Amino acid sequence: MIPEIGLFLCLLALALAAVQVLFPAIGLLRGETAWLAMARPAARAQFVCLLAAFATLVHAFLINDFSLTYVAQNSNTALPWQFRVSAVWGAHEGSLLLWALILAGWTLMVTLRDRQLPGDIAAVVTAVLGLVSVSFLTFMLFTSNPFARGVPAPPDGADLNPLLQDFGLIVHPPMLYMGYVGFAVPFAFAIAALVRGRLTPGWARWARPWALTAWLFLTIGIALGSWWAYYELGWGGWWFWDPVENASFMPWLLGTALIHSLAVTDKRGAFKSWTVLLAIGAFSLSLLGTFLVRSGVLTSVHAFATDPARGVFILCILGLCVGGSLSLYAWRGPQVLAGGSYSPVSRETFLLANSLLLAVSTATILLGTVYPLVIDALGLGKISVGPPYFNLVFGLLMIPLALALGWGQFARWKEDSLGRLWLQLRFAAGAALIAGLCLAFVIDGPARVTAAVGIALAVWIVASTLTGLWARCAGRASPLAALFSQPRSFAGQAIAHCGFAMSIAGVCLTVAMSVDRHERMAPGDSVQLGVYEFRFESLNEFAGPNYQADEAKFTIYRDGKLVSELHPQKRFYKVRGMPMTEAGIDAGFTRDLYVSLGEPLEGKTWSVRLHYKAYVRWIWLGAILMAVGGLLAATDRRYRQTATQPAAAGLRAQES
């Protein structure tokens, strides 16, 4: 009975979403503002319905209601309770419900904070979000209903994919979806501006915190995915240029361009058309990501759905969204998009250069991700694009990006001179050069150049950020007080840029300095890896709640002193009959020591993978810093001031 209530609530939510679209549309067409007022309560009620529907699905998982096909396929009585909850979004149907719920959550937040907007714009924003919701709820209810009953109900479930029985999966998808879906808000804003034919500076100020919030969630989601792959797949890789990873990375890149372009539109009134295009692009790529992951066209860890009808459905949504919004852009764009002026040497120019570089990076990744699919769909053969393509092209594009970042965060708006910039930033440039050269001498091996260039760029970014801080604070009566009284958006920018530098350094140092070996080892054997000695001490049996495991005990010594003791496992999940590698990792700030069991060979001999991973944590710590920076920027006072004093803020925006 309870699942039927859940299904009913989903249908009710669909009806409410339709109200949320139709009432504002009719109201605007007929010029009756009373109709607009229906959008807000409908959106709120829709959120409540979806939250309750989601709760009924969680309930079905918790009580092991295997009469639901979705539960039977993805859970088991032996599955620990926290994984039964996360199994709700562990496969296709449930993750769509989560998608819809998160969209309704974002819409709710918009309706709670839209009093500062002109009524018609707020109504169109809510209506556009409602339209997205209608599409996804229709998709879920007609092709992938999580509440469908299976007859007869099996006595026990088929268990959750063991790869997904992990803390990383509990948090990774919700974060990622918060990011993906969050870009629907700036998208809805862009559409509203185009539909109503006005794009004021207040528009960008209003869209900024939303775009920043979506971006910071996506940053965390991607970093979590990378970290999860690193420790859960058991071979120490943290990024594979897998199509599904690319699918989340492309909206992130365009989202990054969007938050920077929005800053220019907000402060200077320039780049309006570009900003609108980026807002459309970031959300379209989020939809493309959903299509790639959900349609089953991809072969990857994430591709659970294999029903072609689903693929066609999402492709239709994607086509309507991209086609519709771009047509609207072509039709209404010229009316709303008069830009500001700036000279060739100015912060605007550097930001534009970086926007373009991010867009080009996105395009190259899109080419490598989608081209094989198109070739396959046309029946021209099966191809795949190797990671070296992505590494080379993306790596090269990051060089001018990092260089322009340093200049851009320092340059003045509207007009600056190269002489002044050089004078201010020569120390930063010197520091970067010295750091790069030092590293080129210290590091050997094929990746020496990568490491040297990467470190030089990282130092350049950090040094130019510090120079900027110095310039803002040094001349003051009390430099320290000045430092702490900087606006949050400035602090956020500095922290996020340092995080970006940290990630660059982490990637380059990991690539250049890590050592890994595949070895045959039996208990009693030891292998020397750099300065570390890995000893295989013993092998034991271990029984988990729903798996059986061989557990090895490794001790690691450095100069005869014990550094760490690791317990990698090879698990066998009984229900699915799947083996799984559980790596043993000693995490550290400058290095990880990583042991994973390969396969049993003969007797107690195993193939074993040993890794020394230099600075690998920096990649994710950098991402955390970026997200913290995004949070600081999103909560800056200027956005809250607009909330309380819309009229005054509007005036100020027009003056500047």
Question: What does the binding site for another protein look like in residue numbers (CB under 8 A)?
Answer: 161-163, 233-235, 237, 240, 296, 298-303, 306, 360, 364, 367-368, 371, 381-389, 392-393, 516, 518-520, 576-581, 598-599, 601-602, 607, 609
Token pair 């021209």 is found at 380
List, in order, residues 6 or more apart from 28 with CB less than 8 Å away.
36, 120, 123, 124
Of 500, 493, 509, 501, nearest in space to 589 by CA: 509
Please count the other Cβ atoms lying within 10 Å of the Cβ belonging to residue 443: 19
Nearer to another protein, 5 or 396 (CB): 396
Do 19 and 42 touch, CB atoms closer than 8 A?
yes
Do 506 and 617 touch, CB atoms closer than 8 A?
yes
CB 295 to another protein: min, Å:
10
Beta-strand ranges (E) seen in 78-181 are none
CB 140 to another protein: min, Å:
20
CA dist 353 and 356 (Å) reads: 5
Degrees, nearest 5: CA angle 77-78-80: 105
CB 409 to another protein: min, Å:
23
CA dist 639 and 212 (Å) reads: 12
CB 318 to another protein: min, Å:
19
CB 251 to another protein: min, Å:
21
Rounded to 5 degrees, what are φ and ψ at 528? -95, 125
Q: Is 468 helix (H, G, I), strand (E, B) or coil?
A: helix
Nearer to another protein, 62 or 359 (CB): 359
Measured between alpha carbons, how far is residue 8 from residues 46, 52, 53, 454 in Å? Answer: 12, 10, 8, 55
- List the structure tokens of 364: 């190259």
Measured between alpha carbons, how far is residue 110 from residues 113, 372, 383 in Å? Answer: 5, 39, 43
Q: Is 188 helix (H, G, I), strand (E, B) or coil?
A: helix
CB 376 to another protein: min, Å:
9
Report the DSSP beta bridge partners of residue 611: 516, 594
Nearer to another protein, 65 or 592 (CB): 592
CA dist 103 and 95 (Å) reads: 12
Nearer to another protein, 300 or 548 (CB): 300
CB 311 to another protein: min, Å:
11
Token pair 């995915």 is found at 225
CB 396 to another protein: min, Å:
8
515-521, strands of its sheet edge to edge? 515-521, 606-614, 591-600, 584-586
Q: Which amino acid is located at 371 in the chain?
A: Y
Q: Is 166 helix (H, G, I), strand (E, B) or coil?
A: coil
Nearer to another protein, 518 or 640 (CB): 518
CB 235 to another protein: min, Å:
6
Nearer to another protein, 116 or 354 (CB): 354
Q: What is the full DSSP assignment across 288-304?
A: HHHHHHHSS-S-STT--
CA dist 483 and 478 (Å) reads: 9
Nearer to another protein, 606 or 615 (CB): 606
Nearer to another protein, 270 or 365 (CB): 365
Please count the other Cβ atoms lying within 10 Å of the Cβ belonging to residue 468: 20
CB 172 to another protein: min, Å:
16
**CA-based torsion, 96, 99, 101, 104: positive or negative:** negative
Nearer to another protein, 115 or 520 (CB): 520
Nearer to another protein, 12 or 578 (CB): 578
CB 312 to another protein: min, Å:
15
CB 569 to another protein: min, Å:
12
Nearer to another protein, 335 or 417 (CB): 417
Nearer to another protein, 389 or 427 (CB): 389
Helices (H), ranges, 474-607: 479-484, 488-513
Nearer to another protein, 41 or 530 (CB): 530
**CA-based torsion, 616, 619, 625, 627: positive or negative:** negative
CB 22 to another protein: min, Å:
38
CB 232 to another protein: min, Å:
10
CB 394 to another protein: min, Å:
10
DSSP 543: E
Please count the other Cβ atoms lying within 10 Å of the Cβ belonging to residue 416: 22
Token pair 């965390």 is found at 220
Question: 142-159 in b/e burial notation, b at 16+ Cβ within 10 A?
Answer: ebbbbbeeeeeeeeebeb
Three-state secondary structure along 563-575? Answer: EEEECCEEEEECC
CB 345 to another protein: min, Å:
13
Nearer to another protein, 96 or 502 (CB): 96
Tell me whether strands 561-566 and 569-573 are parallel, antiparallel or unpaired: unpaired
Nearer to another protein, 48 or 522 (CB): 522
Nearer to another protein, 169 or 458 (CB): 169
